[in-house]
Amino acid sequence: MPSLRRLRLVLWGAVAFALLFAVGLTAASLVERLAPRLPSVGEASVGGPFELTTEDGTRLSSASLAGRPFALYFGFTHCPDVCPTSMFEIAKVLEEVGPAAADLKVYFVTVDPARDTPDLLRDYTDSFDPRIVGLTGTEAEIAAVARAYRAFYRKVPTSGGDDYTMDHSTMIYLMDARGRFVTGLGHQEAHGSKVEKVRRLLAGAG
């Protein structure tokens, strides 16, 4: 019966379509799951516009940074180990890169705006290098910039009454003159590799 055969064909076609669809869905979710949680080199969606308060109490819009590469880090001053060593190390990197890095700003965005006032941030960042500039803002502003940069931070209570510490991303983001993410400097990355990446950023080659 030709009509029954046609029906069978249509049904098999539907099964094949459903199978393909399922395979596609699985593949998509796998890709999502396997994709690194941290931004990788050249990823376009890391970064974005922000407006924050500088350590001098003035407002800084990312739009005003156009035309100049910059670096950005998420940290806090009540950080015993990773933040001071990262800032100490990036200061050494800038020193080694030399005059090419004379105007490179490293923005230290606090993930603890409740405690990190502009004054405190200025004292803190100036201990390392004048090119490191503290940025703070409202909780909402900090959350927005962290989201744009896909950075993670979270408040963790400790035993001392209402005291807390922060979990946070430790990468230094290198952004090009058009505000696009170029690459990151890892906390445990070798000094020479950091120097090389900053040199490439400033040479415009990424």
Partner 1 sequence: MTFDRRSLLLAALVLPAAPAFAQDGIRAGDLAIGAPWTRATPAGSRVAGGYMTIRNTGSEPDALVGGSLSVAGRVEIHEMAMADGVMRMRELPQGLVIPPGGSVELRPGGFHVMFLDLAQPLRQGDRVTGTLRFRRAGEVRVDYTVQAMGAGPDGRPQGHGH
Residues engaged in binding partner 1 (CB under 8 A): 36-38, 77-82, 84-85, 87-89, 92, 120-121, 123-124, 126-128, 152, 156, 158-160, 163, 165-171, 184, 186-188, 190-192
C-beta of 164 vs 206, nearer to partner 1: 164
User: Dihedral angle at the C-alpha atoms of 147, 93, 136, 175, nearest 10 degrees?
Assistant: -40
Q: Rounded to an integer, what distance in angstroms lies between the CA atom of residue 26 and that of residue 18?
A: 12
C-beta of 190 vs 205, nearer to partner 1: 190
Compute the least distance from the CB of residue 132 to partner 1, in Å: 10
C-beta of 3 vs 188, nearer to partner 1: 188
What is the spatial order of strands in the sheet that 172-175 belongs to? 59-61, 51-54, 132-136, 105-110, 70-75, 172-175, 181-185
C-beta of 69 vs 75, nearer to partner 1: 75
Compute the least distance from the CB of residue 35 to partner 1, in Å: 12
Question: Does residue 71 contact residue 174 with C-beta atoms inside 8 Å?
Answer: yes
Compute the least distance from the CB of residue 28 to partner 1, in Å: 22
C-beta of 65 vs 184, nearer to partner 1: 184
C-beta of 143 vs 177, nearer to partner 1: 143
Helix (H) or strand (E) holding 45: none
Compute the least distance from the CB of residue 146 to partner 1, in Å: 12
- Looking at the DSSP assignment, which residues form a beta bridge with residue 140? none
Q: Which residues contact 23 (CB under 8 A, 6 or more apart)?
A: none
Q: Find the distance separating the first CA and the last CA of the chain, reported in whole Å.
A: 67
Q: Rounded to an integer, what distance in angstroms lies between the CA atom of residue 88 and that of residue 187?
A: 11
Compute the least distance from the CB of residue 7 to partner 1, in Å: 52
Compute the least distance from the CB of residue 15 to partner 1, in Å: 40
Distances (CA, A) of 100 to 58, 92, 206: 27, 14, 14
Q: Rounded to an integer, what distance in angstroms lies between the CA atom of residue 107 and that of residue 150?
A: 16
